[in-house]
Structure 1
Amino acid sequence: MQRKKSKLTARESAVQMLSRRDHGEFELRQKLKLKEFEPSDIDQALEYCQGNGWVDDVRFAKSQIRQHVFKGHGKRRIQQELMLKQVSEQDIEQAFEQEPQDWFELAKETAHKKFKGKKAEDAKAYAKQVRFLQYRGFDFEQISYALSTFESEQE
Structure 2
Amino acid sequence: MRRQPPKISAKEAAVGYLSRRDHAERELQQKLKMRGYSEQDVQEAIDFCQDYQWLDDARYAAMAVRNGVTKGWGKLRIQQEMKMKGVHELCIKQALADAEVDWFEQAKSVAQRKFGNQPMDTPKEKARRLRFMQSRGFDFEQIRYALSVDDEYEG
Equivalences, count: 148
- Indicate if the aligned counterparts of 1:119 and 1:147 stay in contact, CA closer than 8 A: no
Gaps of 5+ in 2: 150-155
Q: Deviations over 1:85-132 (max 9, x none)?
A: 111111101111222211111101111111113231111111110111
**Distance in 2, Cα, partners of 1:120 & 1:5:** 59
**Distance in 1, Cα, partners of 2:6 & 2:99:** 37
CA change 1:74–1:3 in 2 (3 A) is farther
Identity %: 48
1:35 equivalent in structure 2? 35
| Equivalent residue runs for 1:14-53 within 5 Å | 14-53=14-53
**Alignment of 1:58 onto 2:85:** no
Q: Give, in angstroms, the shift of residue 51 of structure 1.
A: 1.2
Q: Give, in angstroms, the shift of residue 6 of structure 1.
A: 3.2
**Alignment of 1:146 onto 2:136:** no
**Distance in 1, Cα, partners of 2:122 & 2:89:** 39
Q: Deviations over 1:56-88 (max 9, x none)?
A: 111111111111111100000111111111111
What one-letter code is carried by the residue in structure 2 that aligns with 1:11? K
- 3-state SS of paired residue (2:87): coil
Which 10-residue stretch deviates more, 2-11 or 50-59?
Answer: 2-11
Q: Give, in angstroms, the shift of residue 17 of structure 1.
A: 0.9
**Distance in 2, Cα, partners of 1:66 & 1:77:** 13
**Distance in 1, Cα, partners of 2:20 & 2:5:** 21
**Alignment of 1:78 onto 2:78:** yes
What one-letter code is carried by the residue in structure 2 that aligns with 1:74? G
- 3-state SS of paired residue (2:50): helix
**Alignment of 1:89 onto 2:74:** no
What one-letter code is carried by the residue in structure 2 that aligns with 1:98? D
1:152 equivalent in structure 2? none
Gaps of 5+ in 1: 150-155
2:109 equivalent in structure 1? 109
- Normalising by structure 2, what TM-score? 0.90
